[in-house]
Amino acid sequence: MSELAYKRTNVYETADKEKMEKIFAYAEGYRTFIDEAKTEREACVFVEEEAKKNGYKPFKFGMKLQAGDKVYYNNRGKNIFLIRVGNEDVGEYGVRVIASHIDSPRVDLKQVPLYEAEGIAFAKTHYYGGIRKYQWAAIPLALHGSVVKADGSKVEVKIGEDESDPVFYISDLLPHLAAKQNAKPLGEGLGGEDLNIWLGNIPYVAAEDDKDKTVKENLLHILNEKYGIKEEDFLSAELSLVPAFKARDIGFDRALMAAYGHDDRVCSYPAYTALFDETSEKHTVLVVLADKEEIGSEGNTGMQSVLLNDLIDEIARAFGASPAAVRANSKCLSADVNAGYDPNFRDVCEPLNSTYLSCGAGLTKFTGSRGKGGSNDASAEFVGEVRKMFSDEGVIWQTGELGRVDMGGGGTVAKFIAKMNIDTVDIGVPVISMHSPYEVISKADLYEAYRAFRAFIK
């Protein structure tokens, strides 16, 4: 093909032996993170530990920041900021921001969850984020979260991850009796109120008293023994069911990796490891790992909170710079996943403008739906600037939209950061089966996302 034409580059096709080894080694670090951190709370704990190991100190509002400082701010255990102060003037050059999210779609327990039906104890749920409900039945689920008791003390729950733990379960119909269900549209096969969690089947048998001889009563005794909690404590609890699967390689060549919650921890991991590994001290860098993206980035731990703005103000103040000038000169990579091209579902993809697995980090100029509605739509100038940063470092990247025009669409945190007068563009890792219990990515794309973030903060 002529040198004038554009063609995507396949990372594996062009990698030498040394690069192949780097790609596969980097994926092993990610495997540990994705298996340990299945909720935003667990991701915060994990990243805070990693930050401390890399010399980061807790940030306090009003503290004096200096060039070379490395600080983190753990916002309520659900959202974490990492800041490394650089040498260049923040008033003139702003802050390099990399933003991703650490929450993923899942099934949450309701606040009054427990009930019994025909000798089986169940929990009621309310799903979190955009799930296809039928995918969450008949798979092993683990229970993760926190319970705040009447005295204010907190109990952490994580059960179903250890091989010897029990797991939890949502049932589905047997094909023999599913004729009626099969006739429904796929999206209605299981309803929101059908996602009830199987919890137990043994009735409580007290020594002398059998008036409470129920499975639910037995369950309450087990919970009280194990966690010291009562039924009322669920009122102030956040408990989530997540797939109990561990990350596994896919296929004979191990090019791909399946896991729960690649969206968006597959971008969070390269964001914070790029910060730790990049030794250039020029730019002031802020990595934010946010909560609540899957439900609209709301709340005081989501990207729409004023906290990012407050932190940039603090950085400006520390150097006597105008906060407005710092924001105006800042640049942001909104690090989120895109839909990878899936040859099994060609009709929803537009082949020229899709991100392909193993063709590098996927840059998305605009998201949104129906005529780019609700999208940040990065400027050609900013895409050009980022493109140059990547080409200077030999980063392999591609571009793609989220599916065919008018097929659907989606959004990211990009627009909330752009609103602060910061140039922002979306970039991340292409994902197959997004929002399902077991999503798939390419290890090559994960590695190129890491290289892209390093190029951006170098």
Residue ranges binding Mn ion (CB under 5 A): 263-264, 336
CB of 379 to Mn ion, least distance (A): 22
Tell the smallest beta-carbon distance from residue 435 to Mn ion (Å): 6
Backbone dihedral angles phi then psi of residue 143, each to the nearest 5 degrees: -105, 120
CB atoms within 10 A of CB 109: 20
Q: How far is the CB of 156 from Mn ion (least distance, A)?
A: 25
Exposed / middle / buried, residue 54 (Cβ in 10 Å: 0-12, 13-18, 19+): middle
- Judged by phi (left if over 0) then psi (alpha if -120 to 50, else beta), residue 374 lies in left
Euclidean distance between CA atoms 356 and 386, whole angstroms: 20
State whether residue 450 is helix, strand or coil.
helix
Place of tokens 């390093």: 454
Q: Which is nearer to Mn ion, 129 or 203 (CB)?
A: 129
> Whose Cβ is closer to Mn ion: residue 288's or residue 318's?
288
For residue 258, the minimal CB distance to Mn ion (Å) is 16
Q: Given the complex with Mn ion, which of 284 and 364 has the nearer CB atom?
A: 364
Between residues 48 and 336, which has the closer beta carbon with respect to Mn ion?
Answer: 336
Instruction: Pick the closer one to Mn ion by CB: 50 or 264.
Output: 264
Question: Nearest distance from residue 437's CB to Mn ion, in Å?
Answer: 13
SS3 percent helix, strand, coil of the chain, rounded to 5, is 35, 25, 40
Query: How far apart are CB 105 and Mn ion at their closest, in Å?
Result: 6
CB of 79 closer than 8 Å to CB of 288: yes
What's the closest the beta carbon of residue 308 comes to Mn ion, in angstroms? 17
Residue 50 or 336 with smaller CB distance to Mn ion: 336
Range list of β-strands (E), 164-219: 197-200
CB nearer to Mn ion: give 200 or 409: 409
For residue 209, give the 3-state DSSP assignment: coil
Which of 40/264 has CB closer to Mn ion? 264
Min. distance of Cβ 167 from Mn ion in angstroms? 24
CB of 338 to Mn ion, least distance (A): 9
CB-based closest residue to Mn ion: 264
Stated length of the chain:
458
Q: Which long-range contacts (CB under 8 A, 24 or more apart) does 25-31 make?
A: 26/443, 26/446, 26/447, 26/450, 27/257, 27/443, 27/446, 27/447, 29/269, 29/273, 30/257, 30/266, 30/269, 30/446, 31/247, 31/257, 31/259
8 Å CB contact between 221 and 227 = no
Shorter beta-carbon distance to Mn ion: residue 268 or 305? 268
Q: Which letter, b or e, does each residue of 383-419 get, where b requires 16 or more Cβ atoms within 10 Å of its Cβ? A: beebbebbeeeebbbbbbbbbbeeeebbbbbbbbbbe
